[in-house]
Structures are given as structure tokens and as C-alpha cells.
Structure 1
Amino acid sequence: MDTTELSRALREATEGLQAPPTLAAAVLRGGKRRRTRRRVVLAGAMAVVIAAAGLVVVEMTKADPPQITTGVNPMLTTPTRGDLAGDQAYLDAAVTAFDTGMPNEPGKARLDRPHVYWAGTTDGGKVAVVVQEVERSDSTGYASDGTIIEGRSVVGLLVGTKPVLVNSFPQPYGTTTKGFAFVYGPNNRTVIALGAKNLSVSTTWRIAATSGRAERDWKPMVERDGVWLGETDAQGPPENIRVVTGDPVAAGYDQSLTILPGTRWSLGTDRQAKPVPEGVLRTEPGDVFRVSGSTSRPLGDNVHETLMAANLLDPLAGVTPTGAQFIVDLPGGGSVVAIEVVSMFIMDGLFLAQRDAAAKITGWTYCGLVRKDTGGLVGVCELPGQAGRLAVAPGMVLTYQARLDGGVGGDWVNAGKDAALIPADVPTVHLADPRGRTEAHSLLRE
């Protein structure tokens, strides 16, 4: 029987039947609720929908329901490991501290008793890794074979002789393939990682002075009873620490573990205290400033991708908020755009995009870190071809003193507001805010 014959038969069978007027709305409401509770993909299924007398009939050509498995985090059942596994008083204190520090979010209740997966003495002090099953979320995860995984857990790190929860990590579908790492201890320099093997740690990334490219130094971590431990160097913010699996030289973002720094929370010790403000932009996202009447369009949404391709951003960073854009048309055609970029909430830099006449990005230049002092100057970018410098100072009026032959000062020039082109031979820019306060800034590289 084909669909035409089936449709005719159904019409004949249901002739004279009347559906309640509220049925359609009720079906839709129920469908929405069911869809919210569980999103199921039926591979290879074909639905034939036939309307007859106000009823909806659905035939599935493949009747096999999707396989649903309960993904149990193995950390929940593994006996406690580490040199403090036999210290029952410490384990009990860790569980109590976990209960105290972990909030109960509505609809995501924690189930059963927390389990201490690992407890030991590290260079950053005594720590405990505690895991607990939680109620699954509305969204459903899928395994590689297409089966639905409903398991969900949360892992917390507790630090100190009197344990305190410093951070936690939800695991929607069991232990992730890439794993995750907590950063803790004095000055947040100790790393404990789980869920992956053959790990290396790096303190920070930098742009090499010689090549102008992003680079990192790596050192191996040590495996100990199911966790990996490592120490980082003193320089650089903890938010720039990275842990990768496999060959660190060849590792990309897919090999990078999720990093959970304690400094994201007040004092790095209390998860319930007010979070430390993340590295914020000095300029407003979406603002566009056109210098000297520029008519070029602003940058699109490919800033992150093109900066990564130019190897000017940390290749292991997944978040790059961007601030305002400052556009300058070049005399020979094309344009440049200065833009503020924050990498992983902490490294705030100013970058300059070079573009052709069609506004296509042809290259990037790193201008330097955004200035964090109380002054109005955000940063300075050197324009290509000795065309001068772009000084960025939103909300300020920029002036400079022209240079005469022999370096003797000439007339004062009002260069504009918010940002301005400054001749290459001018070493200083003067700023004035709306209230008339003035300040002077060197344009030379620091």
C-alpha cells in the first residue's frame, strides 16, 4: 500500500469523526514539553503525516526506538585514591565542605552522597577531588554511536587542611575525552588534571620579539594515582595556563584541557564569594570610530579566525571578546583598523588589521598591550610604510605639536576626537577630556 492508498483508507475509516477544537493546541503543547524533556534523533526514520478529520496520524517506517544508555561517570565508583585515601577524617571534611560550597541549582539537584575520587598532598597543599551525580539537564548528549547518554555529574576541587571548595566543573555526559584541570595553591601555580593522559603544562603564551608570533614553553606533568600534577612558573596570569594531551608542540585547541583557575573566585578560595571581575575591555564592543572621515566599512565577524591564522593569538584560547574599531583610510588605497581583543579574559591587546581596497584583510600587526593606567590613551599602532601612528583614546580630544626641520617644535595641531593619525616624527600626543583635564603620553614603544 502506497501513501495515496493509505491516505484514502484513513479518510474512509475516520469519516464522520470530529476532533475536539482544543486538540491541536494540546498536541502542540505536549510536543513542546516532550521535546524539551528529550531531544531524540531517529536515524533513518521517515514520518508520513496525513491529515484526516482534524487528526494527525504518523507512520514510522523504522520502528526501532533509539538506544538510551545511562552514562555513569567512572569517577563515581572508583575507590578513593591518593596518599590521603586512608584519612577518613579528611575525606569526611572534604565531603562536608563540598556540600557547603556547592550551590543547589533549581532543576539540577545533586543526587546521592558525594564521593571523594582522590585525596592527597601536593605542592599546593592538601587537596581532594570530589564528584557527585546530579540530575540531568534538559539537553541530551549523544555518544559517537548515536545512543543517548543521560548521565550527569559535577566534580569539585577542595583545597587546604580544612578543605574549602575553590571551583567545580559540570560533566554533562561523564568524563570528557579531553579532560579538565584545576589551578590552585599559593599564587595559583599548582595544577591537577583529570580525564586525559600524557599531559604537559605551560604557564603563559607570548608574542616573540623576533618573529612577532605566538609561542609557549612546555614541561611534562607527572601521573599520580589517577591524576596528573604539575607546577607552573611565576610569570603570567593563571588564566593563561594551558594543559594539553599528547605532543605539546603539535597540540591545538582540540587537545587542550578545560582550565579552571581558582583566581576566577574571590581570593581563589571561596566559590560562594563575589567572583573576581574578568579582564574587561576598555572600549565598547560594537563602537566604530572613523578617523579623518574614513568611509571604509568596519571589520566583520572573522577577527578571531584571521588573528589565529596570523598566529597572533594564543592558539589554545577559545574566547576572544573584541572591543571598538578605529578605521583609517590609507592615501594609496585600502584601510587599516585598530581593534581591542581580550584573550581568555585576561590578555588585553590592541591589533591592527591591514586591508585592501575591497576591505579584505591582508595582514595583522600586534600593537601591544592595552594600557591599563588611569589615563585616556588605550594604545598606539604603527601604520605600515612609515605612514605615522594611530593613537586610540575614546572620548578624548587629541592634539600634538608639529615638528619643524631640525626637530624644533612647530604649531599645535588639533588631530581629532577619539582617535587620530599622528605623524611618525611626533613623539608625544596630548589628550583633553570633556571637562578640560589634559594629559600627555609618549607614542614611542615602551
Structure 2
Amino acid sequence: MVRKKVPEWLNSTMWSTPPPPSSYDDGLLRHSPVTKMKEEAESISVAPRLNSAPPPSSNTSVPSPSHRPRNGNSISGGSGEYGHSVGPSAEDFSRQAHVSAELSKKVINMKELRSLALQSLPDSPGIRSTVWKLLLGYLPPERSLWSTELKQKRSQYKHYKDELLTSPSEITWKMVRSKGFDNYDLKSESRCMLARSRITDEDHPLSLGKASIWNTYFQDTETIEQIDRDVKRTHPDIPFFSGESSFARSNQESMKNILLVFAKLNQGIRYVQGMNEILAPIFYVFRNDPDEDSSSHAEADAFFCFVELLSGFRDFYCQQLDNSVVGIRSAITRLSQLVRKHDEELWRHLEITTKVNPQFYAFRWITLLLTQEFSFFDSLHIWDALLSDPEGPLESLLGICCAMLVLVRRRLIAGDFTSNMKLLQHYPTTNISHLLYVANKLRSKMLV
């Protein structure tokens, strides 16, 4: 059999990576953050915000956690979206200027915006928040429609919360009041209790009827407890998500609301562990928007964008569809085919020689959209590329996963089952810009 020659551009030392961590865990552990986001520009003005009001001053912006730049050195302070104080590069200035210019147009050119986001967005105040909302279809390209769309969607989310998150006791009292029993309640010696004659079977806490609001409430208890546990475990190293501050607790509460509303509206899937990790980047970006109005409505905005993003992956969370053409195993098979097409020697060594089944590592890569393989702030740049794909995030996701394997091919070829599993379950620190470049180059070869 004639082996396909590896492209010369992949043999460059620029793709080399440092040794993997010495520790190893077979579980789905979070990869420790070791790199952070790129420096961001300060002097170029950001495109007009989502409303007509001027942006708030710096002392009213949402607090953001401390960060480290990509080389791992600690920094503090700064005036950028994520708190950096390192000066921007000329490339950062150029990219920010292009994105800001596009966002300032009356009608956004989505093709151009996707092209700009493909190699990741600049880390400038408010840019990523606005662009993600556009890429996910939450905002229309016509700027004149933004205000109306936002008002409608935010009102709709409030309705969902009022309908789905209200406790049964509150619902019961509302029903009683709506039937004109207010005067009776006020004259009763025990105003906090309903008379037995006023309680129907559906209102009784011990009712097992399908129409019982209490029965539904108790059935949701397990889901609520699971969401609560997972949200509290979300990025414990980042103060935005974890800690005893009122800000962190408020963010946790918002994430729990979003996940519970989603679970109640999607009874076929409900909540699956890991959805909190998918929500985290979206909510973080929206909540850190320097525009006060946008930040205050981050929960509603994040809900709809989370739903839209998950719509392309929802079948991966349905166990009954695992073996179908839309299930997670089908996606893993597609990744295996991509690797074989681009580097058959690597594919053969992994799957035939060392018996490294792609499901051992790719299941987490795909279902959690690479949020656990890189630092949280590097994953934001990867998501820029995922969301920019007009064919949907899955195509870009599989391409990036394939690029991840290709970039460490030398170590994989030289490794056995144990060393390769360590490497792929603890993927080494990587230059994200280079990773996206390789993924785009591999994909462009597919289109030739």
C-alpha cells in the first residue's frame, strides 16, 4: 500500500509543542488553564452598541476575573474587556479596526463578519458579545431591528421564567386570587393556609396526577439538584463562576435559571451533564459586555444563544440516538475518516497499531466543544471560529479536532497506547492561532 506523503508545511518546527503533563487521569477531568487570551487594543473605538445610549464609564462595567496572558505570566489591572494591560500588536489594531468598521454598518455583511471571526476575534470591549449574537442568529444583520428584537426576546424569556420557575405554592395562591377568594383569605385567622375546600386534587402536594403542579415540581427536583451541583463546579479557578462574592453567586443563579428553563422546555433531552460547560463561555462573554444594558440582560440573551448553539448538537445528548446517523458515534466516525484522509499513517498507527479508539478522547472533545482541552480564555478564540462557520459549528469542530491530532503526529507516531492516551486526554499547550490556521488549511484541501 502506498502511504500518503505528509505535507511539508506540517513538518515545520513552528507546530512543535512542549511535553505533556506528567499526571494522567482516565476521567473527564478539566484541563488546567495554562494560557490566556491575546492582548487587546484600547485606543480604537468599538462599534456602536446595541442601544442608542452612550456606553457606561469604566467604573460601572461588570467586574471580570484576573487573567494571565498566553505565556502564563500573571498580570493585573488593565482596561480591556478581560482586564489585560499588555499593549496590543499591530495585527490586533488591524483586526479590531476591521471588525469595528463592519459592526458600525447599517446592514452587517455576515459573510465578511464570518471571515473576520474565522481566525478569532480581538479581545476588545463588547466586540465578541455583539459578534457572537450575530453569528448565532440572535441579532439580525439590520441594525435598525436590534432594539425591537432584543425587547421581544427578553420579554419572552421573562415569560418562560414566570411560567416555569414559579413554585407550586405561588401558583396556587395566584389561582385562588384569580378566582376572587382574596377577601376570604384576608378575613381568615390563618391567612397563610387555604381552606381544605379550596384545595383541588391538582393543587395538593401529595397528588400523583399528571396534571398536578406539585407532582411535576417533585419530578424536577433531581434535575434541579444536578444543575446546582454542576454549576457550582463550573470553572472553580475563575472568580466569575466561583466564590462567595455576591457577583459570583448571581452568575451561578443566572446559569441555573437558563439550564432549568431549557430542561423544562426540552423534555426529550432535559438537562445532561456538560451543558453547563457549553453555557459558560456564552454567559461569560455576554455578562462582561461593557454596555450596561447588554450586561444586565445577559441571562436572557445567553439563553437564546445557548439554545441556538445546542440545536446543532442536541442529538449528541440523546442516548437513544447514539448509534444513529445524527448521534455522537457518527460524529466520531467522521473525525476518524478525516484523519485517515489527511494522514493515513497517523490514522493507522492510532487505530490499528496502538488500538486508540477515537471514542476514548474525541467523545469529550466533541460533546463539550473543546472547552476542557484548553484554557477557558483560549477556548473563546476557538469558539470564534466554530460560530463563524456558515455550515454550522460541527464542521469546524471536526476540522479543529483533526488539526489537533496532526499537530502532535510525531509524538503520536512514536507513542504506544498509554502515552498516546495521556497526550490526547491532556492535550499540550498550543498556539491557538496556529491551530486554527492548520484546521483551515486542512479544510481548504477538502474543498479542492
Q: Is TM-score (shorter-chain normalized) higher than 0.5?
A: no
Q: TM-score, normalised by structure 2?
A: 0.26
Bigger radius of gyration among the two: 1
Relative contact order, CA 8 A, sep 6+: which one is greater? 2
